[in-house]
Structure 1
């Protein structure tokens, strides 16, 4: 394992994840155990707020900066990623709602480029905790807003994957739950 000091040097990029994870909307994830059938739109907020608490505990661990192996993010880096996932998914939800029921197209988001640009590995755990908690709170509040009639409103990802307000919430929850599994949170 590679431990990083208080002034970490660049550990290099993580192995890019090029998988299309939209399959988790139709069947359980064999890794983290997420089952899309267990997530109801009214339960997304509760799941996000529970995850906020669990990620905060991950950031408090003494090994938060430690990469488990070459090419794999440390828990700190995963937490920085999840902060950004919260913001991206919140913005996508807001975009759908602002579309008034018309299909909207999401902007591309390159998670690996974002990790490098923001130097996730240099994050200060205390500051990241504040940012992560704020991102979870904002996302939870956003996903608490849609009405039953808005759940079917559409959004389209740049690769052609179609989402609704409801499926975007499930997809988002899987990402959050899966990364908790990644960091053993």
Structure 2
């Protein structure tokens, strides 16, 4: 990934926020009180239809003059959220492929907070992130479009033991990306 500076990787990264240790799987059963999204109400087959609006939103965010500004020292900037969403598209694309191709796979652990530090999200170039996010979103859409009818109930498991079907995995994914639109609008308003 490209960064805005040439800071050597061995220097300490001072961009970490307090890790989110909550188990968000409850959003598969309940409406999220923060963003208002009800994952169980969404047919995951519609993911490809939702992606153009998502990527258009992030492209607008990534040219905003305050894209790298944190609303508080312990809250990600819109740029950092965009990097996270880019990676979410990529990670969930891989996980959907695993469920499709393997019987009851266990997903490789992904620590989103560690990924933000190691990926130096605060230093990413916004326009590069916009292109990468769009590419990862299109890849996920292509995967979902080609899922056979018998793939929706196939199962996979996170390394912490949380079990998903393709359906619930994509519903969980949708909450994540919708929730981060909400997070960014809290800071920037409508973009």
Report what 1:60 is aligned to.
63
2:188 corresponds in structure 1 to none
Distance 2:42 2:148 in 1: 16
Q: Distance in 2 between matches of 1:140 and 1:14?
A: 30
1:22 aligned onto 2:25: yes
1:167 alignment partner in structure 2: 168
Distance of aligned partners of 1:133 and 1:170 in 2 relative to their CA distance in 1, 3 Å threshold:
same
Tell me if structure 2 keeps the 8 A contact 1:8–1:122: no
Structure 2 gaps of 5+ residues are: 8-12, 186-190
Question: 1:180 maps to which residue?
Answer: 181
CA distance in 2, matches of 1:78, 1:43: 23
Match status 1:130 vs 2:131: yes
Give the distance between the partners of 2:26 and 2:52, measured in 1 at CA.
Answer: 24
- The unaligned stretches of length 5 or more in structure 1 are 1-5
Distance 1:176 1:164, change over 3 A: same
Tell me how far apart the structure 1 counterparts of residues 125 and 133 of structure 2 sit (CA, whole Å).
12
State the Cα distance separating 1:164 from its structure 2 match.
Answer: 0.4
**Does the 8 A contact of 1:143 with 1:169 survive in 2?**
no
SS of equivalent to 2:164: strand
Which of 8, 28, 32 pairs up with 2:35? 32
Q: Which runs of 4+ in 1 moved over 3 A?
A: 6-11
Deviation at 1:159, TM superposition (A): 0.8
Q: SS where residue 152 of structure 2 aligns?
A: helix
State the Cα distance separating 1:168 from its structure 2 match.
0.6
Match of 1:83 in 2: 86
Provide the secondary structure at the position in 2 that maps to 1:103.
Answer: coil
Question: Structure 1 stretch 42-51 or stretch 53-62: which is displaced more?
Answer: 42-51
Larger mean CA deviation between 136-145 and 87-96 belongs to 136-145
Report the Cα distance in structure 1 between the residues aligned to 2:129 and 2:120, rounded to whole angstroms.
Answer: 12
8 Å contact from structure 1 (residues 49, 140) kept in 2: no
CA contact (8 A) 1:96 1:103 kept: yes
Match of 2:45 in 1: 42
**Larger deviation, residues 163-172 vs 30-39:** 30-39
Q: Is the 8 A contact 2:155 2:166 kept in 1?
A: yes
> What's the CA shift for 1:110?
0.8
Report the TM-score, using the length of structure 2 for normalisation: 0.88
